[in-house]
Structure 1
Amino acid sequence: MKKIFLIITIMCATILSVVKAQNAPSKTAFNKTLQAYFDTKNALAKDNVTSANVSAKSLVAAISTFPVKSLSATQQILWKTQAEVIKKSADAIVQQKDLKEQRKSFWALSSAMLKLTKEIKLNNYDVYVQYCPMAKKSWLNEVEDVQNPFYGSMMYDCGEVTETIAKK
C-alpha cells in the first residue's frame, strides 16, 4: 500500500512539473502581451497618439508570436477568437492619427484582453479591472490607481476598480 501511494505521489509530481514547464513559455508570452496592452492604455491615458501607435504595433507582434499550442484546447479556441479582435483593433490604432479614433478602437481591444486575462489566468501580477461610468467602458490596469484611457487628461482619474484579477 505504501509503495502504491509513493508511486502515485511521484507520478502526480512529475505530471505537475511537466504542466508547469509547458506553461512557462505561454506565461512569459502572455505577460509580454499584457505589458504591450498596458503601454497602449498608458499612451491613450496620457493623450499620446505616437506612443499609442508604437505600443499597438508591439501588441500586434506579441499576439502574433504567442505560443498558442502551449494552451489547453479550450484556451486555444478563446485565444484565437480574441486575438483576432485584438489584432484588428490594435492595427486600427496604428493606422489612426486621431486620438479620439484610437480610443474608439481601444474599446474592443480592452474587451478582448479582459476576456483573455480572466480566462487564461497567466498574469504574473495583480491586474485591476477599471470602469468609467462616463464612457460606460472597462479596461485593465497594472496599478490600482485609475488611469482612464478613454478620456485621458480630461478625466484622467475618472473611474473605479471593479475587480482584481489575482496573479497566478
Structure 2
Amino acid sequence: MKNVILTLGIAAVFASCGSSNKSEEKAEQTTTAKSEQTAMEEEASSADKNADVSAVIEAYLSIKDALVNDDQETAASAGKTLANALGEMNMSQVAEDQTAEAKEIIDVAKNHGEHIAESEIDHQREHFEALGKDMKDLIAFTGTDRKLYQQYCPMYNDHKGGMWLSASEEIRNPLFGSKMLKCGKVEEVINL
C-alpha cells in the first residue's frame, strides 16, 4: 500500500511539473505571438506613414518635372494629386507638440497645390517656388523616403532667387523651364 501511495505521489509530482512546463511554454508562446503581432502592426503603421510621405513627395516631384518641361496640364494634374495627398496625410508620425505647426504647413502646401491645379504656367511656377519651402519644412517633421537636393536659382523673381527640391543632383530648373533650364546650383542635400 505504501508503495502504491508513494508511486501515486511521485506520478503526481511529475505530472504537475510537466503541466507547469507546458503552462510556461504556452505563456511564452502567447507573449512571443503578441510581440510579433505588435511589431507587425508597428511596421504596417510605419509603412502607411511612409506611403503618405512618399505620395506627397512623388506629387511634388511630378509638378517639378512638368514645369521643367513647360507642361502646364501635367503640372495642373500633379497639383491636384498633391493637394489630395496632403489632405489624406497621416499626422501620427509627427510629434504631438508639433502637430499644429505641421498641419498649418500642410494647409498652406495644399493651397499651393490647388492653385497649381487651376493656374496658368507662370502662376504655377510662383506657387511651386513657395511650395518648395513648405515641402522642406514638412519633411523636417515627417522625414523623407529618399535623398533630395535643395536647389537654388539666383535669377528667379528679378534676381531675388528661388528654390525647389529635386530627386536628382542635376539642375533642371522648373522655375524657368526651357528658358533657363540649367540655371541653379545645389544648396543642400536632404538625406533619408
SS of equivalent residue, structure 2 residue 63: helix
Between the two structures, name the one with larger relative contact order (CA 8 Å, sep ≥ 6): 1
Query: In structure 2, what is the equivalent of residue 100 of structure 1?
Result: 122
Relative to the length of structure 1, the TM-score reads: 0.82
Superposed, which structure 2 residues align to 1:113-128 within 5 Å?
113-121=135-143, 123-128=144-149
RMSD over equivalenced CA pairs, Å? 2.1
Distance in 2 separating the partners of 1:86 and 1:51: 18
Task: Say which structure is richer in helix.
Answer: 2
Establish whether residue 76 from structure 1 lines up as the match of residue 112 from structure 2: no
Establish whether residue 158 from structure 1 lines up as the match of residue 183 from structure 2: yes
Establish whether residue 44 from structure 1 lines up as the match of residue 45 from structure 2: no
CA contact (8 A) 1:85 1:108 kept: no
Q: How far is 1:69 from its partner?
A: 2.9
Relative to the length of structure 2, the TM-score reads: 0.73
Could you list the runs of 5+ residues in structure 2 that have no partner in the other structure?
1-34
Percent identity of the aligned residues? 28
Distance in 2 separating the partners of 1:75 and 1:42: 31
Query: Which amino acid is the alignment partner of residue 62 of structure 1?
Result: A
Are the structure 2 counterparts of residues 49 and 150 from structure 1 closer, same or farther at C-alpha, using a change threshold of 3 Å?
same
Distance in 1 separating the partners of 2:188 and 2:142: 16
Distance in 1 separating the partners of 2:92 and 2:167: 27
Larger radius of gyration: 2
How many residues get paired?
153
Q: How far is 1:19 from its partner?
A: 6.1
Q: How far is 1:116 from its partner?
A: 1.1
Query: Which amino acid is the alignment partner of residue 108 of structure 1?
Result: A
User: Which region of structure 1 is more displaced relative to structure 2, 32-41 or 108-117?
Assistant: 108-117
Could you list the runs of 5+ residues in structure 1 that have no partner in the other structure?
1-12
Distance in 2 separating the partners of 1:27 and 1:105: 25
